[in-house]
Amino acid sequence: MFDAYSVHSVKIFKRPVMKKKTLILGASSNPNRYSYLALEKLQRFGHPVIAIGRRNETVLGVDVKNTKELYDDVDTVTLYLSPANQQPYYDYILSLHPRRIIFNPGTENAELLSMAAAKGIQTIEACTLVMLSTGQY
């Protein structure tokens, strides 16, 4: 799918828009949290979002679960949990077979990074919000 617009009868094509199904791990209903801002921005950019948080709730129209549900076709897992809180999710994250895992600032975790690399999963230490804003998502 390409986004296109016209300027004085000349069509200009922007690069392809790839929608990436994203799991937010550590989702929050608190608008001051980065995970909330990421959910909002991912939706604005048209990416399908699924989310896991501390409690079952609806955030910006997304049902946030507090259980490890299996999902198909997860492209990206973006982490908003500290390394200590990630450990119970290691097997779950890897079982989703995502293309990549984004370790947002403060979530960097050498153990999970190594486990993911061994499974052929791309790991990125970056900020989801910045990646979206700069077209690197």
The pLDDT value recorded for residue 18 is 80
Question: What's the CA gap between 33 and 111, in Å, rounded?
Answer: 25
Q: At residue 4, does pLDDT exceed 50?
A: no
pLDDT tens-place string over residues 91-136 = 999 999 999 999 999 999 999 999 999 999 999 999 999 999 999 9
Task: Please state the pTM of the whole predicted model.
Answer: 0.86
| Length of the chain counted residue by residue | 137
- Tell the CATH topology of 19-133: Rossmann fold (3.40.50)
Per domain, the residue ranges of the chain are 19-133
The pLDDT value recorded for residue 122 is 98
% of the chain beyond a pLDDT of 70: 88
Give the residue carrying structure tokens 């079952």. Answer: 56
